[in-house]
């Protein structure tokens, strides 16, 4: 592959993950593609694209291409590989103010940790610090993904 992968495209896809949306990297073009899971299922079942709307036909054509040429596609890092909870915990340990650090560590314990964490970083006025930290973690995961798959990339 001569095309460089754009880290920013990978980052957008990583940030917009959901169960229904599958994000892949086409290794020949370096482009990130998105396909709805239901269209992959329909393509696996061999369903026709004739009676579908234009946008659905495009999704089905992509789904068929993914199934027929799966060697051309790589799964992008998933939420399980990203593990944002660990990022939150690691971020807490970067906070130099011991009182803030303890408040944040206490905040991320138990059910509802993500919501409480966001509320607390807002209250402590360190929201920008968190997002800068999180963005750098995401970039590192994207870079490691590219390196692991021998892909040239540009930040």
Statement to judge: residues 100 and 141 lie in one domain: yes
Instruction: Work out the pLDDT band at 1, boundaries 50, 70, 90.
Output: low
Mean pLDDT, to the nearest integer, of 45-52? 89
Statement to judge: residues 72 and 90 lie in one domain: no
Mean pLDDT, to the nearest integer, of 39-65? 93
Whether residue 36 lies inside any domain: the answer is yes
Looking at the 3D structure of the chain, how many domains does it have? Answer: 2
Statement to judge: residues 25 and 45 lie in one domain: yes
Statement to judge: residues 36 and 52 lie in one domain: yes
* Structural domain containing residue 49: 18-77
Asked if pLDDT for residue 120 goes beyond 70, the answer is yes
User: Greater confidence, 144 or 19?
Assistant: 144
Statement to judge: residues 115 and 133 lie in one domain: yes
Query: Which string of DSSP letters, residue by residue, matches the chain?
Result: --SPEEHHHHHHHHHT--SSEEEEEETTT--EEEEEHHHHHHHHTT--STTS-HHHHHHHHHHHHHHHTGGGEEEPP-HHHH-HHHHHHHHHTT---HHHHHHHHHHTSSTTHHHHHHHHHHHTT-HHHHHHHHHHHHHHHHHHHHHHTT--EE-
Whether residue 127 lies inside any domain: the answer is yes
Whether residue 11 lies inside any domain: the answer is no
């Amino acid at each position: 592959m001569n095309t460089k992968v754009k880290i920013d495209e990978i980052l957008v896809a990583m940030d917009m993950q959901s169960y229904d949306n599958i994000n892949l990297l086409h290794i020949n073009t370096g482009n990130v593609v998105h396909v709805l899971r239901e269209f992959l299922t329909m393509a696996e079942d061999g369903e026709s694209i004739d009676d579908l709307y234009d946008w659905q036909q495009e999704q089905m054509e992509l789904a068929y291409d993914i199934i027929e040429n799966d060697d051309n596609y790589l799964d992008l890092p998933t939420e399980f590989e990203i593990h944002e909870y660990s990022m939150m915990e690691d971020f807490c340990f970067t906070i130099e103010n011991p009182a803030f650090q303890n408040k944040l560590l206490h905040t991320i314990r138990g059910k509802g940790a993500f919501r409480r964490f966001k509320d607390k970083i807002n209250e402590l006025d360190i929201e920008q610090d968190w997002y800068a930290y999180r963005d750098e973690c995401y970039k590192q995961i994207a870079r490691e993904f590219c390196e692991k798959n021998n892909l040239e990339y540009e930040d």
